[in-house]
């Protein structure tokens, strides 16, 4: 096996239409997350809420490499993944506000949403728990004999967990069509990767199990798409799993309750100014004369409308009825004294 590090800069072999599509998809995630942040501040969203701002290119780039029937599973930082695979922003926002119109009828919240239709399997609050579950999803496709793949997203912090390596071992042994996507945003809550491992890169650890992999610039949606296509082609052809370590950065705190004292404002500002994925595509569209400022303004407006509508829907949708406490639970019979 030959694990390798991708150094080739992606060639933008995409049409203007596709570029504009990635711009719109990334912008939708960013504006949606900003709105979620606002609603949280207003007390309309309770509990935990982990925003994906800064990491948009990862999921948009990889979704561009996916086809119908491919599956995805991720952690609690999941709103972007849901929007990118085509779930309805209204249903996602209403779940955030704990309302009936949400994907889990308002009973799951930010970290627990699913869509069978879009093959989105959560939303998992336990760090790395989605990794073996994702291997199970990949196993089901292998068992059924189709050529679908499963994208298993997890963070740099999760990448230090034991269950990840048990999963690598089985996934390679069984040649599972699993793409392990390590979203390396450089921090696990307040712990920087420099403080949590001496290993220079996470994707190289796959070599111990014979798994192919590469590092990707996660602030460049085209590079992500390019690497995603390589990973997908490899997995679909039955060669087994693949690891993508996508180098990215989160602009906001770990969750809404994180004051982010473990890094400087300058560090965040520098990333925003010099490496922002949305800005990069914006410039590419303008300098390549694929779009005018007015075209981009129209996209911004359209995205804003979608997000505002989702927020309105989320505010107007009723809270779940009290009886809903006794549905979607494991107990077949509810003790009557509890009703
Ligand atoms: C098993 C377990 N241990 C600890 C936690 C608390 N916790 C929640 S998120 C997190 C950090 C994970 O960081 P990373 O995997 O890099 O993902 P990111 O938040 O950066 O997306 C920790 C320690 C948890 N939820 N589950
Ligand atoms: Mg992280």
Considering the chain, what is the average pLDDT of its residues? 95
Inside any domain, residue 289 = yes
Inside any domain, residue 48 = yes
> What is residue 2's predicted lDDT score, i.e. its pLDDT?
45
> What is residue 7's predicted lDDT score, i.e. its pLDDT?
46
d(CA 212, CA 5): 10
Residue nearest to atom 25 of ligand 1 (CA): 126
> What is residue 200's predicted lDDT score, i.e. its pLDDT?
81
Q: How many CB atoms lie within 10 A of CB 136?
A: 15
Inside any domain, residue 6 = no
**What's the number of domains the chain is made of?**
1
Q: Which atom of ligand 1 is nearest to the CA of 254?
A: 19
Q: Which atom of ligand 1 is nearest to the CA of 127?
A: 26
pLDDT at 1 over 80: no
Of residues 207 and 14, more confidence is placed in 207
Inside any domain, residue 1 = no
Tokens 């990491």 found at = 55
pLDDT > 70 fraction of the chain, expressed in percent and rounded: 95
Q: How far does the centroid of ligand 1 lie from the alpha carbon of residue 125, in Å?
A: 8
> What is residue 10's predicted lDDT score, i.e. its pLDDT?
47
pLDDT digits (tens, 9 = 90+) for 312-324: 999 999 999 999 9
> The pTM is what?
0.95
CATH code of the domain containing 30: 3.40.50.970
Asked whether the beta carbons of 89 and 312 are under 8 A apart, the reply is: no
- Torsion sign over Cα 57, 81, 66, 165: positive
Q: How far does the centroid of ligand 1 lie from the alpha carbon of residue 267, in Å?
A: 21
Alpha carbon 203 to its chain centroid, in Å, reads: 18
Residue nearest to atom 8 of ligand 1 (CA): 127
**Closest-CA residue to 246 (of 217, 275, 207, 210):** 217
Residue nearest to atom 17 of ligand 1 (CA): 155
d(CA 66, CA 225): 9
> What is residue 334's predicted lDDT score, i.e. its pLDDT?
73
Asked whether the beta carbons of 119 and 85 are under 8 A apart, the reply is: yes
Q: Which atom of ligand 1 is nearest to the CA of 185?
A: 20
Q: How far does the centroid of ligand 2 lie from the alpha carbon of residue 156, in Å?
A: 5
Q: How far does the centroid of ligand 1 lie from the alpha carbon of residue 97, in Å?
A: 23
pLDDT digits (tens, 9 = 90+) for 55-67: 999 999 999 999 9
Q: Is the CB of 72 under 6 A from ligand 1?
A: no
Q: What is the mean pLDDT of the segment spanning 182-202?
A: 96
Q: How far does the centroid of ligand 2 lie from the alpha carbon of residue 219, in Å?
A: 15
Inside any domain, residue 42 = yes
Asked whether the beta carbons of 115 and 86 are under 8 A apart, the reply is: no
Inside any domain, residue 238 = yes
pLDDT digits (tens, 9 = 90+) for 112-159: 999 999 999 999 999 999 999 999 999 999 999 999 999 999 999 999
Q: Is the CB of 157 under 6 A from ligand 1?
A: yes
Inside any domain, residue 110 = yes
> What is residue 4's predicted lDDT score, i.e. its pLDDT?
55
pLDDT digits (tens, 9 = 90+) for 254-310: 999 898 899 999 999 999 999 999 999 999 999 999 999 999 999 999 999 999 999
Q: Which atom of ligand 1 is nearest to the CA of 189?
A: 11
Q: Is the CB of 185 under 6 A from ligand 1?
A: yes
pLDDT at 184 over 60: yes
Structure tokens at 115: 């869509």
Inside any domain, residue 163 = yes
Q: How far does the centroid of ligand 1 lie from the alpha carbon of residue 54, in Å?
A: 18
> What is residue 5's predicted lDDT score, i.e. its pLDDT?
57
pLDDT digits (tens, 9 = 90+) for 75-117: 999 999 999 999 999 999 999 999 999 999 999 999 999 999 9
Domain extent for 137:
16-338
């Amino acid at each position: 096996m030959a694990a390798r590090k991708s150094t080739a800069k992606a060639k933008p072999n995409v049409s203007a239409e596709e570029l504009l599509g990635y711009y719109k998809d990334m912008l939708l995630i960013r504006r949606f997350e900003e709105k979620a942040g606002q609603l949280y501040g207003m007390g309309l969203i309770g509990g935990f809420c982990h925003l994906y701002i800064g990491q948009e290119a990862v999921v948009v780039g990889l979704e561009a490499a996916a086809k119908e029937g491919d599956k995805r599973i991720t952690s609690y930082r999941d709103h972007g993944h849901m929007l990118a695979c085509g779930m309805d922003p209204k249903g996602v926002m209403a779940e955030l506000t704990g309302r009936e119109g949400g994907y889990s009828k308002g009973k799951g919240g930010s970290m627990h949403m699913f869509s069978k239709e879009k093959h989105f399997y959560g939303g998992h609050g336990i760090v790395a728990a989605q990794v073996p579950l994702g291997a199970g999803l990949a196993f089901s496709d292998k068992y059924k004999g189709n050529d679908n793949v499963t994208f298993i997203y997890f963070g740099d912090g999760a990448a230090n967990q034991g269950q990840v390596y048990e999963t690598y071992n089985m996934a390679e042994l069984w040649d599972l069509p699993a793409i392990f996507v390590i979203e390396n945003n450089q921090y696990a809550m307040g712990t920087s990767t420099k403080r949590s491992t001496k290993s220079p890169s996470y994707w190289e650890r796959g070599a111990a199990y014979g798994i192919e992999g590469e590092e990707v610039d996660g602030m460049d949606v085209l590079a992500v798409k390019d690497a995603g296509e390589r990973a997908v082609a490899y997995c679909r052809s039955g060669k087994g799993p693949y690891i993508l370590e996508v180098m990215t950065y989160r602009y906001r705190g770990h969750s809404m309750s994180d004051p982010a004292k473990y890094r400087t404002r300058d560090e965040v500002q520098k990333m925003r100014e010099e490496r922002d994925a949305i800005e990069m595509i914006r410039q590419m569209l303008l300098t390549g004369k694929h779009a005018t400022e007015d075209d981009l303004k129209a996209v911004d407006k359209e995205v804003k409308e979608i997000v505002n509508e989702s927020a309105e829907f989320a505010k107007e949708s009723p809270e779940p009825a009290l009886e809903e406490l006794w549905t979607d639970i494991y107990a077949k019979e509810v003790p009557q004294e509890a009703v």
